[in-house]
Chains A and B, each alone.
Chain A
């Protein structure tokens, strides 16, 4: 069963507009949650993570994400998108802390229009 769902395969926004990328997980307990970004030809870079505590987490590059237990969601947001934000974004969870393995969603490709 899919543990992490990113419903949007592809999103296009205008530069300066706000952004929200969706991520839903299916897991009984609260997993550890992550957002990674992958630029063309680059490795994945960690944007932010949630383990516990404050449900609104701040990350690098002006990104933030909010954990909503009732909706099993961990959506990524940015108030004003820059052209350099165009990339592939992956939501990931650690379901089994013993395995330490990240389970990734299938990704959302972000295009930024000038």
Chain B
């Protein structure tokens, strides 16, 4: 069974440029998460989807970040415009979404460097 797929794995952009990250969750996983991991820190939740609905986006900086999950499968996270402080690893995770099922499976992440 394929795991969570993310692309690109690495991205270097200049500040003020836009950037997008893509995530394909494990087949059958209804819940999808985007996390931000700063260097030396644990991941922090940005947004959670249940199918195609964003049910928890309270930590997503909506002035520059946006996300979508069309058809309840793949998801894209976008930053526009990027700032120097956005340099981090962006992790996607998925889970079955059933009650009491909190096991999350993580992708390898996208390491973003903003110069």
- Are A101 and B41 touching (Cβ within 8 A)? no
> For B93, what are the chain A residues with a Cβ–Cβ distance below 8 Å?
43-44
- Are A101 and B42 touching (Cβ within 8 A)? no
Give chain A's interface residue range (CB within 8 Å of chain B).
20 to 34
Give the docked Cα–Cα distance between A102 and B93 (Å). Answer: 11
Of the listed stretches A11-19, A71-79, A104-112, chain B binds A104-112
- Are B108 and A41 touching (Cβ within 8 A)? yes
Give the docked Cα–Cα distance between A90 and B43 (Å). Answer: 9
- Are B91 and A102 touching (Cβ within 8 A)? no
Closest Cβ of chain A to B5, distance in Å, is 10
- Are B40 and A106 touching (Cβ within 8 A)? yes
Main secondary structure of the interface of A (DSSP, over half): strand
> For B31, what are the chain A residues with a Cβ–Cβ distance below 8 Å?
100
Question: Whose C-beta in chain B lies nearest to the C-beta of A102?
Answer: B104
Give the docked Cα–Cα distance between A107 and B102 (Å). Answer: 20
Closest Cβ of chain B to A110, distance in Å, is 15
Given contacts A43-B3, A43-B91, A102-B104, contact A92 B48 (CB under 8 A): no
Closest Cβ of chain A to B112, distance in Å, is 15
In the assembled complex, A45 has its CB within 8 A of some CB on chain B: yes
Q: 0/1 per residue, A36-50, Cβ < 8 Å to B?
A: 100001111110010
Q: Which of B43, B56, B102 contacts A94 (CB 8 A)?
A: B102
Give the docked Cα–Cα distance between A52 and B3 (Å). Answer: 27
Q: Which of A25-61 contact B (CB under 8 A)?
A: 32, 34, 36, 41-46, 49, 51
Question: Which residues from chain B sit less than 8 Å from chain A, CB to CB?
Answer: 3-4, 31, 33, 40-45, 48, 56, 91, 93, 95, 100, 102-109
Given contacts A45-B106, A106-B40, A107-B41, 11 further A-B contacts (CB under 8 A): A43-B3, A43-B105, A43-B107, A44-B93, A51-B100, A97-B100, A100-B95, A100-B102, A101-B33, A105-B42, A106-B42
